[in-house]
Amino acid sequence: MNPNKINILNRKAKFEYEFLDKYTAGIKLVGTEIKAIREGKANIAESFCEFNNNELFVINMHIEEYSHATYFNHNPKSERKLLLNKKELKKLEKEVKNSGLTIIPTRLFINDRGLAKLNIVLARGKKMYDKRETIKDRDNKRNLDRIKKEYK
């Protein structure tokens, strides 16, 4: 698999949260973790980000153990530090503490230099009626596309 084609998405996030602000962060990984990501064996569906001592960590991100590793393998569910500049970290920490917002990873990818990056968003949880509205809009769009396709 081409390392630049790795694109692991959190599809549930757009349905569960309203996105406010986007960031791209680097991830501090060990050798077997990046090798497993390059094989596409990672999952960010249940993950979230949390501050600890003015540093941002991604929690609950699952990276499977690397198949060709020996006893030097990594822990699949460990916390991984996110790398952002201080200005962005301070802004995010202020927003999370004051507004009750959360930080959700939406996409894990490998950039053109071969480094693992994580797209994170500052998000507000949707209420149940917002979710119903999203479902209704999606169904209406699907029906409209189906009708357009029939008349072409």
Domains of the chain as residue ranges with CATH: 3-126 (2.40.280.10)
Q: Say yes or no to pLDDT of 1 above 70.
A: no
pLDDT grade for 123, boundaries at 50, 70 and 90 = confident
Greater model confidence, 105 or 7: 105
Span 26-85, pLDDT tens digits:
998 878 888 888 888 888 888 888 888 888 898 888 888 777 766 777 667 778 889 999
- Count of other CB atoms within 10 angstroms of residue 123: 21
Q: What is the pairing mode between strands 116-125 and 48-52?
A: unpaired
Are residues 120 and 27 in contact, defined by beta-carbon separation less than 8 angstroms? Answer: no
State residue 3's pLDDT score.
Answer: 47
